[in-house]
Amino acid sequence: MKAWLLALAALATLDALAAQAQPVPDTLAQRALACTGCHGKEGRAAPDGYYPRLAGKPAGYLYNQLLNFRDGRRDYGLMSELVTPLSDAYLQELAGHFAALDLPYPPPQKPTLPAPELARAEQLIRHGDAARRLPACTACHGERLTGTQPAVPGLLGLSRDYLNGQLGAWRSGQRRAQAPDCMAQIAKALTATEINAVTQFLAGQALPADAHPAAALPAPAPMRCGGLQP
């Protein structure tokens, strides 16, 4: 009886060791875990608001950003080192993986600015300022501000800190895109007060029932923009 119990225990130990020795599956989802360590579970965005959401963004936009980090147009050491050895084809595959994820968004952040300032921000976002050659955000990011295929991201569901950080990076030249860099032109034309109001308005908006990017731009782009091509 004792020998039988020892044999059973040995078999259980072997089973446990065999289970531990199972190879890690070589899937894109498994490899993408290198991204979710910073960008949050399944690419939903990190709770600190600094690392943006990846899930559900247009694949062309994600691919462009990976190229920008790899090729030096965007400057963040960790990202650049991660993608430097990767091929265009692999970056496209990775972008497609995250673009295909359909996951809930976080709740909006309550704005702290008075209503008149938020109203002026909404005016800029929806109608722009023709006298200053500032196009409406909706002209490229869609009427619902959820982005447009194939390469324009949504502006909702992002934190104020992230939005402020990116507009500031465009103003300073730390963030760049394929020429002509239309977002750099827009960011430099906005005042610091306008940027604060615009980001507060955007971060305070709830996502519409259909949060997917629009199928295409609502009209021809209002200015030449290199990043519109995937």
Tens digit of each residue's pLDDT (9 = 90 or more) over 11-49: 354 455 455 656 767 788 888 888 988 898 888 887 777
Instruction: State which residues form the domain around 127.
Output: 29-228
| Whole-prediction pTM | 0.85
CATH at residue 108: 1.10.760.10
Look up residue 32 and give its two tokens. 């993408």
Provide the pLDDT for residue 214. 97
Is residue 81, in this structure, part of any structural domain at all?
Answer: yes
Is residue 20, in this structure, part of any structural domain at all?
Answer: no
Is residue 161, in this structure, part of any structural domain at all?
Answer: yes
Is residue 8, in this structure, part of any structural domain at all?
Answer: no
Residue with tokens 């980001």: 199
Query: What is the domain count for the chain?
Result: 1
pLDDT at 1 over 70: no
pLDDT at 230 over 50: no
d(CA 230, CA 168): 24
CA neighbours closer than 13 Å in the CB half-sphere of residue 65: 20
Is residue 5, in this structure, part of any structural domain at all?
Answer: no
Is residue 16, in this structure, part of any structural domain at all?
Answer: no
Provide the pLDDT for residue 6. 38
Give the alpha-carbon dihedral of 167, 106, 206, 51, to 10 degrees: 10
Residue 67: which of 151, 168, 139 has the closest Cα? 151
Provide the pLDDT for residue 4. 40
Q: What is the pLDDT of residues 76-105, one digit of tens each?
A: 888 989 899 999 999 999 999 999 999 999
